[in-house]
Amino acid sequence: MASKRDYYEILSVTKDADTGAIKASYKKLAIKYHPDKNPGDKEAEERFKEAAEAYGVLCDEKKRAQYDRFGHAGVQGGAGGGAEGFSNFEDIFSAFGDIFGGNFTGRQGGGRGRSGPPRGQDLQISLTVTLPDVSAGVTKKVKLKRYNKCGTCAGQGGTGKQVCNVCAGQGQVRQVQSSFFGQIVNVTTCPECQGIGSLIKAKCANCHGGGRIQEEVTLSIDVPPGVEETNYLTLRGEGHAGPQGGPSGDLIVAIKEAEDDFFERRGVDLYSQVEVPYTTVALGGDIRVRTIDGEVDLKIPSGTQSEKLMRLKSKGLPDINGHQRGSQYVKLHVHTPDNLSAREIEVLRELEKVQEQDHPKSFFQKAKTFFT
């Protein structure tokens, strides 16, 4: 697909449509454009794929939020095209199992099933990052259990591989049924080969014919700067190995953000608070302020009031595209001293006298104001 249509437009739903409405609309389109009902019709096939892709995004709360914010760029790799789109089909068709039957792998090709062993399953993990990680980017080592290709048989499952005679290598068997919606082709996993499409004569002793074994692996995952909770990374081919040499699924990494003790994040901006001596806000001066990557001096002009929000430009977080950084906003709280020394009391008494002469009471009076 060259230029992508709007997902809401594809499914003919409004931007605020609920999951039920999206599902209903998708169901209608899926039935109308299903390849089994439109053999050899490229246009229908495109419509079918397009609807499935739109559904894959809009029925997923996180992906939908990403799409609403960033458009197609926000969900690329998630429900894009190719293998990803196909993996979505499985979810969709198991959701609609009552109509299409169980195991639809989503391959069309003019009504013919797939060839070769099926793709391995996607793996999903969540990865917690801190705000300094978000600021600088981070490489995280992750341990996970997954199916890896069996080394003994190079993933083949053994020797003497034969095409399954029940499904002729398709991995699926089809039944035509009449239903309320018209003629429906019911596709189910071949019971003889369990969907693999081939049978092994001499099974590998290590993997018992599956061509894959469960192993613990350690992966390095590069998390780019600027990620947030709604983001996920797709590591192609890092999911489960497929059975008997089938291609590997993907590893989907959902980003979680750890709570930070000092900073509150609002998009690319950070918010923090500092206590400032009253002499500094009155006379002006520099204070040390903690930022996400070290301390900086912040200049306080004389006569600055308490609760003032100061801005440190470019001291926030980078945006995900790496173009610019947000700001850090620092809220000043004027600290009232509570354990004065005798000398301080003396000086303050003196100051009090001077203030009463120079600013007689005027600054105690404040207009009715907002309390937030």
Angstrom distance (rounded) from CA 300 to CA 107: 65
Angstrom distance (rounded) from CA 67 to CA 75: 6
Query: Rounded to the nearest whole angstrom, what is the least distance from the CB of residue 150 to Zn ion in the complex?
Result: 3
- For Zn ion, the closer of residues 106 and 169 by Cβ is 169
- For Zn ion, the closer of residues 206 and 280 by Cβ is 206
CA 314 to chain centre: 25
- Whether the Cβ atoms of residue 295 and residue 305 lie closer than 8 Å to each other: no
Q: Is 164 in the site for Zn ion (CB under 5 A)?
A: yes
Q: Is 206 in the site for Zn ion (CB under 5 A)?
A: yes
Stretch that binds Zn ion, among 65-73, 107-115, 193-201, 281-289 (CB under 5 A): 193-201
287's CB contacts (< 8 A; 6+ apart) are 274, 276, 280, 297, 298, 300
- For Zn ion, the closer of residues 30 and 204 by Cβ is 204
Stretch that binds Zn ion, among 21-29, 109-117, 163-171, 274-282 (CB under 5 A): 163-171
Angstrom distance (rounded) from CA 284 to CA 310: 14
Query: Rounded to the nearest whole angstrom, what is the least distance from the CB of residue 190 to Zn ion in the complex?
Result: 3
Q: Is 190 in the site for Zn ion (CB under 5 A)?
A: yes
Q: Is 150 in the site for Zn ion (CB under 5 A)?
A: yes
Q: Which of 68, 91, 192, 257 binds Zn ion (CB under 5 A)?
A: 192
Angstrom distance (rounded) from CA 130 to CA 255: 10
Binders of Zn ion among residues 267 to 306 (CB under 5 A) are: none
Q: Is 207 in the site for Zn ion (CB under 5 A)?
A: yes
**φ/ψ (deg, to 5) at 70:** -115, 0
CA 234 to chain centre: 9
Please tell me the count of residues contacting Zn ion according to CB under 5 A: 12
336's CB contacts (< 8 A; 6+ apart) are 278
Angstrom distance (rounded) from CA 164 to CA 136: 52
Angstrom distance (rounded) from CA 148 to CA 241: 5
Q: Which of 29, 153, 300, 330 binds Zn ion (CB under 5 A)?
A: 153
Q: Is 255 in the site for Zn ion (CB under 5 A)?
A: no
Q: Which residues bind Zn ion (CB under 5 A)?
A: 150, 152-153, 164, 166-167, 190, 192-193, 204, 206-207
